[in-house]
């Protein structure tokens, strides 16, 4: 462990972590449900295209939906069985809306398809080929954004100095990364080495919060004889925010609205590293993940390995059961997670934690903002949340953008400390959505305007051409001397009459001959 200085970031909160609740048991093995409902959009980017049809039998690990565009991700059958439906189902999404899913009735054999070959010599393999493998295997970032890893690691020749492994896991309650690090530190290190090879990073730093001593020890063992450095950071939410962690570890500020790549840094979650290692070394596609089942409503909070598409309800019933009535279920942690209207929804690639709460805060009616400035003190992005709130509320989106609305990472610190209990983050999301919508509208209206202008121009051109043709014709006619018998109409009539006469003569001749 290196003795390096930590570059603290502004604001943040020291929260009760509630992590011990779910670290009392080892990670439970996979539970195979009767049916799996696999959403086609589990990642950032375009929805995947189904490449199976209802009635097909699929094997475990078989591709069932293809990445439709560059920023998209493949989806594989988490177990063997029969496709029973491809339709809209309730999923775990903040919008609460239904989305396209492939339903599989499992045959219980859990029979694997033929997996692609292991790339054991990855160190001497072209990075492009390894990225292709990640793309093929449907690997996405497991830190929260679920961004396709093959896209994120395509640095387009931008130099990467440092690869940072995000092991901070700063949200209360969530321990899936913690347990993974205790259980599988070698795979994390291997995955990190593979990622380092892909992006050509000079060094690897692991940033981890100090509340995970066992994970730190396990990693320390695993990094023996490597040049990977573990940097322990104090417990402060949101230390696991990408830009915050980069600052903690390096003192570098990622430019406002920029990417870590702009300063030669790439961040990856430790869970993603394991998925990368399994895809490269075993050819295993992304079909399961570790999920923290926790909260005071559960009888046996713990981490479990869960197949993508497993119903949350079944997962809880199988592994834990309820000890108390569940008042609220959150997907994710209490700071950034979203509440689920019900739990008959499937686990997806990004589902890190199911938080089942018996005791919830009473919902309080928001009171007016008194601009006390508590939010300014805790904002890690150095924003003025009270001003942003004011502008979002009054639909003054230009001012909101002037006040750096899009630098808000929605960590929720401001709303956490707000004495007036204003759902601030919700206002910021609303403002962002409105701005995106109006930009889309503007693009569409620009397009419509261009189309209209083009049509007008085309009509004008056609009209001009027609007029020009007419004028030309007229000129031709006017310039021709009007000679007698030259009248075309007369000539046509004469010709027609001649033809009629000839026909009549022919008919007469025929009648005679018969």
Partner 1 sequence: MSSMISSPHQHDSNSVQSIMATVLLALLPGIAALVWLLGNGVLINLGIAIVSALLSEWVFLRFRGRNPVTAVTDLSAVLTAVLLALALPPLMPAWQVALGTIFAIVVGKQLFGGIGNNPFNPAMLGYALLLISFPASMSQWIQPQSAASNLDFSQAWQLAVDGVLPAAMAWDSMTGATPLSEVREGLLQHSMLSELHPDGSWSNLTSSGWAWVSLAYLAGGAFLILKGIMSWRIPLSLLASVTIVSGLLWLIDSNQFASPLFHLFSGAVMLGAFFIATDPVSASTTPKGQLIFGALIGFFIVIIRTWGGYPDAVAFSVLLLNMAAPTIDYYTQPRVFGGER
Phi-psi region of 500 (alpha: psi -120 to 50; beta: other; left: phi over 0): alpha
- Which residues within the stretch 334-353 sit at the binding site for partner 1 (CB under 8 A)? 334-339
As beta bridge partners, residue 162 has: 203, 265
- Which residues within the stretch 62-101 sit at the binding site for partner 1 (CB under 8 A)? 96
Neighbour tally for 265: CB within 10 Å: 23
Helix axes of 185-199 and 213-222: crossing angle, nearest 10 degrees: 60
Distance CA 235, CA 237 (A): 7
* Interface residue with partner 1, options 21, 374, 391, 432 (CB under 8 A): 374
* Interface residue with partner 1, options 71, 136, 371, 396 (CB under 8 A): 371
Tokens of residue 328, six digits: 């609220």
* Interface residue with partner 1, options 156, 257, 479, 513 (CB under 8 A): 257
Cα 477 to Cα 209, 241, 470, 483, distances in angstroms: 93, 81, 10, 12
CB of 422 vs partner 1, minimal distance in Å: 9
CB of 339 vs partner 1, minimal distance in Å: 5
- Which residues within the stretch 27-46 sit at the binding site for partner 1 (CB under 8 A)? none
Q: Give the nearer residue to partner 1 in terms of CB position, either 25 or 371.
A: 371
Pairing of strands 162-167, 265-269: parallel
Q: Is 189 in the site for partner 1 (CB under 8 A)?
A: no
Q: Is 196 in the site for partner 1 (CB under 8 A)?
A: no
What is residue 298's DSSP assignment?
B
Q: Is 256 in the site for partner 1 (CB under 8 A)?
A: yes
Q: Is 251 in the site for partner 1 (CB under 8 A)?
A: no
- Which residues within the stretch 134-163 sit at the binding site for partner 1 (CB under 8 A)? none
Under a CB-based contact definition with an 8 Å cutoff, are residues 11 and 248 in contact?
A: no
Q: Is 401 in the site for partner 1 (CB under 8 A)?
A: no
Neighbour tally for 326: CB within 10 Å: 18
Percentage helix, strand, coil, to 5, in the chain? 40, 20, 45
Distance CA 228, CA 194 (A): 13
Q: Give the nearer residue to partner 1 in terms of CB position, either 200 or 366.
A: 366
Neighbour tally for 227: CB within 10 Å: 9
* Interface residue with partner 1, options 258, 466, 467, 468 (CB under 8 A): 258
Q: Is 354 in the site for partner 1 (CB under 8 A)?
A: no
Give the count of residues interacting with partner 1 (CB under 8 A). Answer: 63
CB of 416 vs partner 1, minimal distance in Å: 5
Tokens of residue 7, six digits: 């570059």
Q: Is 376 in the site for partner 1 (CB under 8 A)?
A: yes
Widest Cα–Cα separation across the chain:
125
Q: Is 365 in the site for partner 1 (CB under 8 A)?
A: yes
Q: Is 404 in the site for partner 1 (CB under 8 A)?
A: yes
Q: Is 407 in the site for partner 1 (CB under 8 A)?
A: yes
* Interface residue with partner 1, options 34, 158, 203, 421 (CB under 8 A): 421
Four-point Cα dihedral 235, 237, 239, 243, nearest 10: -160
Q: Residue 283: phi, psi to the nearest 5?
A: 70, 15
Binding-residue pattern over the window 3 to 32 for partner 1, x denoting contact by CB under 8 A: ------xx----x-----------------
Site residues, partner 1 (CB under 8 A): 9-10, 15, 96, 172, 243, 247, 253-258, 328, 330, 332, 334-339, 357, 360-361, 363, 365-374, 376, 380-384, 386-387, 403-404, 407, 410, 412-413, 415-421, 423, 425-427, 429-430
């Amino acid at each position: 462990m290196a003795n390096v200085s930590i570059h603290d970031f502004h604001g943040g909160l020291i929260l009760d972590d509630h992590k011990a609740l779910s670290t009392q048991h080892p990670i439970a093995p996979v539970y195979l449900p009767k049916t799996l409902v696999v959403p086609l959009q589990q990642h950032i980017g375009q929805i995947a295209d189904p490449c199976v049809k209802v009635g097909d039998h699929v094997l475990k690990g078989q591709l069932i939906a293809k990445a439709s565009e560059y920023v998209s991700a493949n989806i594989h059958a988490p177990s063997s069985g029969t496709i029973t439906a491809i339709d809209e189902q309730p999923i775990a999404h903040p919008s609460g809306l239904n989305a396209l899913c492939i339903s599989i009735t499992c045959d219980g054999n859990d029979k694997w398809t033929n997996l692609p070959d292991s790339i054991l010599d990855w160190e001497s393999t072209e990075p492009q080929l390894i990225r292709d493998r990640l793309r093929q295997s449907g690997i996405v970032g497991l830190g929260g954004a679920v961004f396709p890893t093959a896209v994120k690691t395509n640095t387009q020749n931008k130099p990467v100095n440092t690869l940072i492994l995000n092991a901070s896991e700063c949200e209360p309650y969530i321990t899936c990364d913690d347990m993974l690090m205790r259980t599988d530190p070698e795979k994390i290190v291997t995955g990190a080495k593979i990622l380092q090879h892909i992006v050509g990073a000079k060094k690897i730093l692991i940033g981890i919060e100090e509340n995970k001593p066992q994970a730190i020890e396990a990693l320390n063992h695993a990094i023996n004889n490597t040049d990977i450095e573990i940097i322990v950071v104090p417990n402060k939410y949101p230390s696991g925010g990408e830009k915050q962690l980069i600052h903690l570890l390096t003192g570098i500020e990622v430019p406002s609205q920029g990417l870590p790549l702009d300063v030669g840094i790439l961040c990856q979650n430790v869970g993603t590293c394991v998925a990368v290692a399994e895809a490269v070394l075993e050819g295993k596609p992304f079909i399961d993940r570790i999920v923290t089942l926790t909260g005071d409503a559960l009888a046996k909070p713990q981490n479990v390995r869960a197949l993508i598409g497993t119903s949350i309800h079944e997962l809880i019933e199988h592994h834990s059961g309820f000890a108390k009535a569940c008042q609220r279920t959150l997907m994710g942690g209490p700071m950034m997670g979203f509440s689920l209207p019900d739990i008959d929804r499937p686990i997806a690639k990004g589902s890190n934690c199911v938080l089942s709460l018996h005791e919830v805060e009473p919902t309080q009616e928001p009171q007016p903002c008194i601009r006390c400035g508590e939010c300014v003190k805790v904002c890690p992005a150095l924003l003025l949340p009270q001003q942003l709130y004011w502008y979002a509320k009054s639909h003054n989106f230009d001012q909101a953008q002037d006040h750096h609305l899009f630098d808000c990472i929605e960590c929720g610190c401001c709303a956490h400390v707000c004495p007036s209990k204003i759902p601030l983050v919700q206002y910021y999301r609303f403002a962002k959505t409105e701005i995106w919508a109006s930009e889309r509208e503007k693009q569409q209206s620009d397009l419509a305007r261009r189309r209209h202008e083009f049509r007008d121009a085309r009509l004008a051109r056609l009209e001009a051409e027609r007029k020009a043709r007419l004028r030309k014709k007229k000129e031709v006619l006017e310039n021709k001397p009007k000679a007698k018998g030259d009248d075309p109409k007369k000539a046509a009539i004469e010709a027609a009459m001649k033809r009629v006469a000839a026909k009549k003569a022919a008919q007469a001749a025929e009648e005679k001959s018969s």
